[in-house]
């Protein structure tokens, strides 16, 4: 029997409703320097007439519960950085610095140090400084042994180098970059699937594969092929539904990734969900998507740096719809 995301305790529709309800309140705080906020992958602030500051904040979600269950904490720190910085780079911004927030019932020095090792590794991989953070002990707020994390990344981008999806055009191709696993989304559902099917420890450990950080790949592409990159999307919560966020004046025709990591395939098979539902929940093996009119060059450049890249679909005029095509159907290659 299929297990829905809502049945696992997460109501995406209610989350969307909340965002719509607070939008006007948030916008009431804006001044003329605020360029982009609710709806984009990161917020932009006009710094000095020549550059934008880009910022993004996120957490790791209930993947932390699985980490606590298995006693594996270092990779969670990597996840925290990745979830923030992978949003940041969708604008073409270069990451500058990072801050973290860690809350628990009582501070466990060994656990906290393991988490920090992961955060430091994530910052080094992202080529940005860890400039500060906050640690809070809140007995009574959290159960003993539980903790939560939040991260904040800041970068900058020159105005003429901004990627905002405005250059996307009819006929562009979509190039996918392979994910390392589920990254850090959908874990309320993943944990429910693992529990319901009494899955073994090996499968649970595999699901803790840390979120892949794409900073060096995207920065290299921007350095060498900036004019060929028309849009970038981080495939995070809600899966492939993130792709139209690049520019909702177009429709996006996509197919499945060539293959899934073995543990993703096993969990997806156990879920009982349709292929469309899976792609609207998980990243399904795709970590980032690039809109380009030169897909072969982009894929070749990625592969030179060891990044697995593949043709995922194409763009047509439309109204921001995602049109999913199963393997072997007519998504088409328009390059």
Assess whether 110 and 233 both reside in one domain.
no
In this predicted model, which residue has the larger pLDDT, 17 or 314? 314
For the stretch 137-194, pLDDT in tens is 999 999 999 999 999 999 999 999 999 999 999 999 999 999 999 999 999 999 999 9
pTM: 0.92
Within a domain: 288: yes
**Quick one: tokens of 83?**
């979830």
Distance, in Å, from the CA atom of 99 to the CA atom of 91, rounded to the nearest integer, reads 20
188 and 73 in a common domain: no
Residue at a domain's end among 137, 161, 185:
161
Residue 82: half-sphere exposure toward Cβ, Cα within 13 Å: 29
Q: Which of 132, 161, 190 is the last residue of a domain?
A: 161
Nearest to 164 by CA among 54, 24, 33: 54
Do 118 and 255 fall within a single domain?
no
Do both 193 and 135 map to the same domain?
Answer: no
Q: What is the pLDDT of residues 78-116, one digit of tens each?
A: 999 999 999 999 999 999 999 999 999 999 999 999 999
Domain coverage including residue 223: 173-324
Task: Categorize the per-residue pLDDT at 1 as very low, low, confident or very high, splitting at 50, 70 and 90.
Answer: low
- Which of 128, 161, 194 represents a domain boundary (last residue)? 161
Average pLDDT, the chain: 93
Query: Under a CB-based contact definition with an 8 Å cutoff, are residues 298 and 309 in contact?
Result: yes
Whether residue 178 is found in the same domain as residue 312 = yes
Q: In CATH, what number is assigned to the domain containing residue 214? A: 3.90.650.10
Q: Does 72 map to a domain?
A: yes
Total structural domains within the chain:
2
Closest by alpha carbon to 313, among 236, 233, 225, 224?
233
């Amino acid at each position: 029997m299929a297990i829905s995301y809502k049945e696992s305790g997460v109501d995406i529709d209610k989350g969307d409703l909340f965002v719509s309800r607070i939008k006007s309140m948030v916008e009431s705080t804006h001044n003329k320097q605020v360029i982009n906020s609710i709806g984009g992958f990161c917020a932009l602030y006009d710094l000095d007439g020549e550059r934008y500051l880009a910022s993004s904040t996120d957490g790791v979600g209930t993947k932390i519960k699985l980490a606590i269950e298995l006693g594996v904490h270092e990779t969670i720190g990597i996840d925290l950085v990745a979830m923030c910085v992978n949003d940041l780079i969708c604008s073409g911004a270069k990451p500058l610095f990072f801050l973290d927030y860690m809350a628990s019932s009582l501070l466990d020095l060994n656990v906290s140090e393991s988490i920090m090792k992961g955060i430091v590794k994530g910052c080094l991989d992202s080529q940005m400084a860890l400039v500060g953070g906050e640690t809070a002990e809140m007995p009574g707020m959290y159960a003993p042994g539980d903790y939560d994390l939040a991260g904040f990344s800041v970068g900058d981008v020159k105005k003429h180098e901004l990627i905002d999806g405005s250059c996307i055009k009819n006929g562009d191709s979509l190039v996918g970059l392979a994910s390392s696993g589920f990254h850090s989304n959908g874990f309320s559902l993943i944990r429910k699937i693992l529990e319901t099917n009494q899955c073994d420890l090996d499968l649970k450990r595999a699901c803790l594969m840390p979120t892949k950080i794409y900073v060096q790949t995207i920065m290299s592409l921007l350095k060498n092929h900036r004019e060929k990159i028309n849009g970038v999307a981080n495939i995070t919560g809600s899966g492939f539904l993130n792709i139209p966020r690049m520019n909702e004046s177009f429709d996006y025709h996509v197919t499945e990734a060539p293959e899934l990591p073995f543990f993703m395939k096993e969990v997806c098979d156990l879920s009982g969900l349709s292929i469309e539902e899976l792609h609207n929940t998980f990243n399904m093996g795709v970590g980032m998507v690039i809109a380009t009119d030169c897909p072969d060059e982009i894929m070749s450049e990625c592969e030179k740096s060891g990044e697995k890249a593949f043709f995922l679909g194409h763009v047509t005029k439309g109204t921001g719809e995602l049109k999913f095509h199963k393997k072997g159907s007519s998504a088409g290659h328009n390059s």
